[in-house]
Structure 1
Amino acid sequence: MDTDFLVMRTKMKNKDSSMRNTYWLFGTRLSILAGHAETGGRYDLIEGWFSPGTQTPPHRHGAYSEQLYVLDGEFTVWAGGRKAVLRPGDHLTIPAGTAHVVAATGDAPGRGLVVASPSGLARLITEAGTPDEGGGAPSSVAPDMEHFLRVSAELGDELLGPPGALPD
């Protein structure tokens, strides 16, 4: 039986691989490893670094699911009325349309891979995030919320509360 497969090679936009398509959004450093152009819109692959205590605002993605694979640290995810604590090697799928929050809840920074399918999350990050200048420290620049909300709406995403809140 023949199996077709596709090998994709991503061209890094920055010479320093630690800065490859990297942005700050809500205190989280996010590197886009593969986006719409590289995957034909099938998915986005994103690596995220969360300082201890950092969390996303409550939100939902209307058009794509999100899978989180934990590489380092500890994350707590509140999704669909449930709470899950994830450690290295754990993963969780958040279906499209599910209200959720992702937080780094351990004593050490959290690092994980996110697969958003189909593609969409990378667009939000690149259009609403602040480009990383290579310093590795959290960006003190808050996102332009009007622009963030507009891009979110175009993607079918909803912000459900301020950072620090949990979904209902």
Structure 2
Amino acid sequence: MTFSNTIEQTAELNDEQLLNENNAEDKKSWSILGHTYWPVMGNDFDTSFSWITYDPPGTFVPPHRHGSQDEHVYILEGEYSLYVDGEWTIARKGDSVKWPKGSLHGYRIDSDKPGRALMWVSPAGDLSTLFDELHNLTDPEEVVRVSAKRDIFFAKEGSAPGYK
């Protein structure tokens, strides 16, 4: 299976198929502060790690940096407001963005419809382990503390220009 085939197959899934609770026990997933993530099978954990994200309206991932990873996003559905180093851009179905390692980046769903995206980091690092550790945590401060142990550093509130 090629990477482009994975994108095409994932893009054909609707939210009901992705979120079907009857299939939930068959698929690994993570619930992290309102977002749901599913790993994309076939990851080469030495070189990259990829996941599908489902982001309800009003959810966001605050500005953060990866110390040793580039992060990529390919929009499958919806509209994402993407932040990188103080600048905002809008991304829609079919758009892709690369956030270079060390860049301050994040995203939010400002529309009244959910977003769905394929995301990946390279190299993989400890991100899948981090998702295991963050699963079902409800305290944002704990998420920030645990993330820092895995080379993900969140900006302090108010320190990222243009991020509200």
Task: Calculate the TM-score normalised by the size of structure 1.
Answer: 0.73
Matched, 1:74 2:82: no
- The 1-side partners of 2:97 and 2:23 are apart by 27
Matched, 1:167 2:160: yes
Q: Which runs of no fewer than 5 residues in structure 1 stay unpaired?
A: 6-15, 131-140
- The 1-side partners of 2:119 and 2:70 are apart by 10
**How much has 1:41 moved relative to structure 2?**
1.6
Q: Which runs of no fewer than 5 residues in structure 2 stay unpaired?
A: 3-21
Change (3 A) 1:121 1:166: farther
**How much has 1:26 moved relative to structure 2?**
1.9
Partner of 1:24 in structure 2?
31
- The 1-side partners of 2:127 and 2:45 are apart by 14
1:16-165 alignment, distance < 5 Å: 17-18=23-24, 20-34=27-41, 38-119=43-124, 120-130=126-136, 142-143=138-139, 145-146=141-142, 148-161=143-156
Change (3 A) 1:88 1:160: same
Change (3 A) 1:46 1:143: farther
- The 1-side partners of 2:41 and 2:101 are apart by 20
Identity of aligned residues (%): 27
Change (3 A) 1:34 1:150: farther
Query: How many matched pairs?
Result: 140
Task: Calculate the TM-score normalised by the size of structure 2.
Answer: 0.74
